[in-house]
Amino acid sequence: MDKVVIGFIGTGVMGKSMAGHLLNAGYPVVVFSRTKEKAQDLLDKGAVWASSPKEVATQAKVIITMVGYPADVEEIYLGTNGLIANALPHTYLIDMTTSTPTLAVKIAEAAIAKDIYAIDAPVSGGDIGAKEGRLSIMVGGSDKAFKAVEPILKHLGANIVHQGAAGAGQHTKMCNQIAIASNMIGVCEAIVYAEKAGLDTNKVLQSISTGAAGSWSLSNLAPRMTSGDFNPGFYIKHFIKDMKIALEEADAMRMDTPGLTLSKNLYTKLAAAGEENSGTQALYKYWER
């Protein structure tokens, strides 16, 4: 895997930074995005443009995808002009999109039939983690494939754990999103309570973010709320997608998820009010409304 050509599909809020780390590490990188302008900074730094996933597949030994929705993943991987139909044998495919465990298994099985290795490796850490190369990466797939691509993943994340067979990475990401969903409600309520009590929210955060209430969202997103910064590190529309997947998976396991259900309902109301392209910290606006 030393300096193999890496294909990167999806150069949005997080993908752009991730592909940049690979360029900085000296890997030749071929990129594709539905909007070429989003990849321009990478092209200026030496990445090569591909006009389609098929073109990426013919050039790269390792291909990473970081796109929006499961439907995008399915088209990119399983479509006629997709990766599995056009990649060379022994290519490694790494989907870092948050998608469904079922689709991850489907992709892995299709890949095996073509002598291709596919792993699901969704991430957590948002735009900050992507920029700093400190993402948490949850991997599902064969042990052989994981060990082969682990050196590449180390350029993108600081906490990389092989969770099990295909789909295990996506299941783990659902655990992550379930924990965040309820936590975000608590973070917002705490900030609004502090404001209504006439407290200095910065001092409140100084006290509670390092105690038992501490969380990534409290330390990183609460300050954005108080400063009025609702730009997306992670889009509300994508979080709703993730929560929908988690609810469907929980329902299939006959599991009740009251916290997750409440969070999805609140975020859905915000999206309907025009906040779907805001960051998840914009849940704070629910109390303004």
Question: How confident is the model over 176-195, as a mean pLDDT?
Answer: 97
Q: Residues 153, 245, 68, CA angle at the centre, nearest 5°?
A: 55
Residue 41, CA distances (Å) to 46, 48, 52 in order: 9, 11, 18
Q: What is the pLDDT of residue 285?
A: 96
Q: Is the pLDDT of residue 101 over 90?
A: yes
Single-letter amino acid code for the residue at 104: A
CA proximity to 24, closest of 47, 4, 48: 47
Residue 27 and residue 40: Cα distance in Å, rounded? 17
Q: What band does 95 get if pLDDT is binned at 50, 70 and 90?
A: very high
- Does pLDDT of 1 surpass 90? no
Token readout for 161 is: 């754990």
Give the integer Cα–Cα distance in Å for 85 and 81: 7
DSSP 197-265: TT--HHHHHHHHTTSTT--HHHHHTHHHHHHT----SSBHHHHHHHHHHHHHHHHHTT---HHHHHHHH
Give me the pLDDT at residue 237, please: 96
Place 120 in a pLDDT band, splitting at 50, 70 and 90: very high
Contact between 103 and 87 (Cβ < 8 Å): no
Classified as helix, coil or strand, 139 is: strand
pLDDT value at 289 more than 80: no
Q: Which two tokens stand for residue 123?
A: 């991430």
Q: Cβ distance 238 to 193 under 8 Å?
A: no
pLDDT of residue 167: 98
Q: Which residue has the tokens 């990119």?
A: 76
Residues 193-213 have a mean pLDDT of: 97
In angstroms, the CA 281 to CA 234 distance is: 9
- pLDDT per position as a tens digit, 20-78: 999 999 999 999 999 999 999 999 999 999 999 999 999 999 999 999 999 999 999 99
Q: How many helices (H) and strands (E) does the chain have?
A: 15, 9
- pLDDT band (50, 70, 90) for residue 13: confident
Question: Is residue 48 classed as helix, strand or coil in its secondary structure?
Answer: strand
The span from the CA of 34 to the CA of 45, in Å, is 19
Percent of residues, the chain, with pLDDT higher than 70: 100
- 33, exposed or middle or buried, with CB in 10 Å at 0-12, 13-18, 19+? buried
Mean pLDDT, residues 129-145 taken together: 97
Instruction: Specify the pTM.
Output: 0.93
Give the mean model confidence (pLDDT) for residues 200-219.
Answer: 96
User: Using CA atoms, how far apart are residues 2 and 12, in angstroms rounded to an integer?
Assistant: 26
Catalytic residue, candidates 16, 173, 241, 264? 173
| 85: its two tokens | 């139909």
Amino acid identity of 158?
A
How much is the pLDDT for 288?
Answer: 84
Averaged pLDDT for residues 254-262: 97
What does the alpha-carbon distance between residue 79 and residue 67 come to, in Å, rounded to a whole number?
Answer: 15
Q: How far apart are CA 218 and CA 157, in angstroms?
A: 21
* Residues 195 and 222 sit within 8 Å (Cβ to Cβ): no
Of 100, 91, 148, 151, give the one whose Cα is nearest residue 122.
100
**Mean of all residue pLDDT scores within the chain:** 96
Report how far Cα 133 is from the mean position of its chain's Cα atoms. 13
On the question of pLDDT at 140 being above 90, the answer is yes
Mean local confidence (pLDDT), 122-141: 96
Catalytic status, residue 3: no
